[in-house]
């Protein structure tokens, strides 16, 4: 068993190398350009069998597919970011979830935020994770009955579920039982390992959810996540390069790990030691910091078009206006605006 496991990643890496038939060494990433610039500049995925490499916050993906910009029960938002790419199982899950959400009364479907870049990897702006095609953000706003135009998808503001000027409190005028049902539905799929929501939303679920509480433990409190929630899938079966996360602790999570968020500790400014030397500027992640396969993923040939790598299973489509829409890409100097409703705490709680 151990031998089989040990040899598989090597075999996979060799297969990748053969499939890509490219020479690594003198390409752009040897020059020390940050990995986020290289992965952020990729327009299309690596054409290969779907394989996530590494972990959610340090990895990449080969063989990602795009969710169509439009579907019977979903629309993808912020198309200019080109982050509609994920593992095919992630895309299939999102399409199924979009249908289930409509059944629960969630408008005419879901609005999908960022999934991953075409080859995953670190991003120029916005996320630490979302690197291996197994994370997706869903807006806390249902898809309206009439489709949003590409421009509206760029401009539509996020709606926080929190009360303004009040510490970690869900706004009762905005939050409904359907919101709760939709989040619990997302957590209910066996392939979903974690859902991230704002601590105030987790508390609301703990206080008010009267149904089956067996999946509440998958719903994890974290800062932000008040205008969208985040779906994280576990590593797919057979994805030997995918580094799994620790299992969530048993129980519904409505315990002291949640109470911690309502103390001052996570929100306090970090304590400064007057004698400490100034911390060195953190070095940008390099391709060499990622799993070895990621250099090959970056260098691999892509499909001939976006359409060729678009998932086609549930009647999704790309209106010509959407696919023709090209907005300026984000750069390191002009990052996309990230909603910051609450301050970022100093530390993360256990089990994040
Ligand atoms: Zn996210």
CA–CA gap between residue 51 and residue 7 (Å, rounded) = 16
Q: Please write the tens of the pLDDT for every residue from 81-137.
A: 999 999 999 999 999 999 999 999 999 999 999 999 999 999 998 888 999 999 999
Q: What is the pLDDT of residue 318?
A: 81
Q: What is the pLDDT of residue 172?
A: 95
H helices, E strands: number in the chain: 9, 11
33-264+287-309 is classed CATH 3.40.50.620: no
Give residue 230 CA to ligand 1 midpoint distance, Å.
5
Q: What is the pLDDT of residue 269?
A: 80
Give residue 251 CA to ligand 1 midpoint distance, Å.
23
Q: Please write the tens of the pLDDT for every residue from 258-304.
A: 999 999 888 888 777 888 888 788 888 999 999 999 999 999 999 99
At residue 332 the predicted structure's pLDDT band, cuts being 50, 70 and 90, is very low
Q: pTM higher than 0.85 for the full model? A: no
Give residue 138 CA to ligand 1 midpoint distance, Å.
8
CA–CA gap between residue 75 and residue 151 (Å, rounded) = 13
pLDDT higher than 90, residue 239? yes
At residue 31 the predicted structure's pLDDT band, cuts being 50, 70 and 90, is low
Residue 132 in contact with residue 193, Cβ under 8 Å?
no
Give residue 146 CA to ligand 1 midpoint distance, Å.
26
Q: What is the pLDDT of residue 273?
A: 82
Average pLDDT of the segment spanning 166-193: 97
Average pLDDT of the segment spanning 40-50: 96
At residue 221 the predicted structure's pLDDT band, cuts being 50, 70 and 90, is very high
> What are the sequence ranges of the domains in the chain?
33-264+287-309
Give residue 1 CA to ligand 1 midpoint distance, Å.
35
Q: Which of 44-48, 117-121, 321-325 has the lowest mean pLDDT?
A: 321-325
Three-state DSSP class for 343? coil
Q: Pick the closest to residue 29 from 119, 91, 132 (CA basis).
A: 119
Which tokens is 173 given? Answer: 């005028």
Q: What is the pLDDT of residue 8?
A: 47
For residue 125, which phi and psi values (nearest 5 degrees)?
-155, 150
- For the chain, the average pLDDT equals 85
Give residue 274 CA to ligand 1 midpoint distance, Å.
35
């Amino acid at each position: 068993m151990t031998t089989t496991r040990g040899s598989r990643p090597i075999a996979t890496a060799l297969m990748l190398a053969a499939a890509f038939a490219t020479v690594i060494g003198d390409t752009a990433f040897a020059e020390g350009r940050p990995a986020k610039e290289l992965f952020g500049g990729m327009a299309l995925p690596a054409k290969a069998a779907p394989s996530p490499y590494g972990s959610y916050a340090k990895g990449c993906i080969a063989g990602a597919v795009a969710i169509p910009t439009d579907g019977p029960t979903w629309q993808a938002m912020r198309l200019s970011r080109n982050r509609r790419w994920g593992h095919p199982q992630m895309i299939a899950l999102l399409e199924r979830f979009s249908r289930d959400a409509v059944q629960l009364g969630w408008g005419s479907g879901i609005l999908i935020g960022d999934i991953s870049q075409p080859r995953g990897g670190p991003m120029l702006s916005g996320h630490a994770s979302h690197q291996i095609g197994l994370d997706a953000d869903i807006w806390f706003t249902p898809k309206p009955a009439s489709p949003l135009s590409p421009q509206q998808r760029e401009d539509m503001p996020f709606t926080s579920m929190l009360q303004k000027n009040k510490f970690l409190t869900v706004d009762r005028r905005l939050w409904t039982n359907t919101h709760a049902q939709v989040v619990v539905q997302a957590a209910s799929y066996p392939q979903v390992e974690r859902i991230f929501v704002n601590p105030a939303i987790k508390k609301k679920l703990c206080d008010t959810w009267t149904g089956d509480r067996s999946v509440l433990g998958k719903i994890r409190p974290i800062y932000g996540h008040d205008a969208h929630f985040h779906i994280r899938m576990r590593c797919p079966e057979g994805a030997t390069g995918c580094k799994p996360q620790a299992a969530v602790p048993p129980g519904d999570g409505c315990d002291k790990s949640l109470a911690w968020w309502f103390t001052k500790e996570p929100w306090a400014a970090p304590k400064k030691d007057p004698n400490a030397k100034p911390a060195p500027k953190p070095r940008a992640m390099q391709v060499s910091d990622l799993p070895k396969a990621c250099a090959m993923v970056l260098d691999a040939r892509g499909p001939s078009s976006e359409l060729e790598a678009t998932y086609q299973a549930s009647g999704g489509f790309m209106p010509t206006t959407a696919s023709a829409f090209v907005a300026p890409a984000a750069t390191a100097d002009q990052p996309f605006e990230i909603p910051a409703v609450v301050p970022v705490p100093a530390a993360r709680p256990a089990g994040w």
